[in-house]
Amino acid sequence: MPKGPTKRRPQTTARLLEAALETFAERGFYGASIEEICERAGYTRGAFYSNFRNKEALFFALFDLHARRVVERLTRAVDELAEPPDADDVVRAVLTRMSALDETERRWYLLSTEFTLHAVRNPDTARTLAEHDRRLREEVAGLLGRLFDRLDRRPTVDLDTLARLTTAVHEGSLAQSLVEPDELAPEELAVTFLPLLFEAVSQKRRAPRRRRTE
């Protein structure tokens, strides 16, 4: 059986990640120190370095955790669509289910936006971030393919590119909502305009031809 420290590692990691997200959101990626994160989590620096190499490694662990949650929420939204789905409302239905802006999502947006700027200034970090983005985008593209299948439509654009555009609309919409919460609800722009985009970049699948009988 696993010994004590090994059994406790997942709990230690989870507490450090939670503390890091809170501290990063409050202090910023540069402003937050490893000591502050450890103090909030209730651990020593030794516990931190036994789980993470540095703050960048901690961010990428948070990225992967957030990505799993996003994929799980999108998957549930697609799976729970009415059968057969209403082609006019199906995209809106999925986006609406994804539009809840809780405190965790707000903290993640603050952190990820700042870290993206950090990555732009540091090419090695940018390459690592791009690889994590690529893996998440691959999952999103697969889910977009499932959505088109449910709509009985064929995409006319590359799904990876469409996933990039969808992400850009989501993040841009969220930014404007956080700046002007009384003027723009979270995902309002995405829910309004992405369904029109998805219809414009896809075609109704043709029914297979029937063979003539002699």
The full set of domains in the chain, from first to last, is 1-52 (1.10.10.60), 55-204 (1.10.357.10)
122 vs 114: CA distance, rounded Å? 13
- Compute the average pLDDT of residues 106-116: 93
The whole model's pTM is what? 0.85
DSSP helix, strand, coil percent of the chain (3-state; round to 5): 70, 5, 25
How many helices (H) and strands (E) the chain has is answered by 9, 2
Tokens of 99: 């539009």
Percent of the chain at pLDDT > 90 equals: 55
Rounded mean pLDDT, 35-42: 95
pLDDT band at 93 (very low <50, low <70, confident <90, very high): confident
Mean pLDDT of the chain: 86
What pLDDT does residue 2 have? 46
* pLDDT at residue 195 in the model: 86
Return the structure tokens found at 42. Answer: 């209730």
Do residues 163 and 143 touch, judged by C-beta distance below 8 A?
A: no
Residue 130 vs residue 90, higher pLDDT = 130
pLDDT number for residue 7? 62
pLDDT tops 90 at residue 66: yes
- What is the Cα–Cα distance from 152 to 141, expressed in whole angstroms? 16
pLDDT at 202 over 70: yes
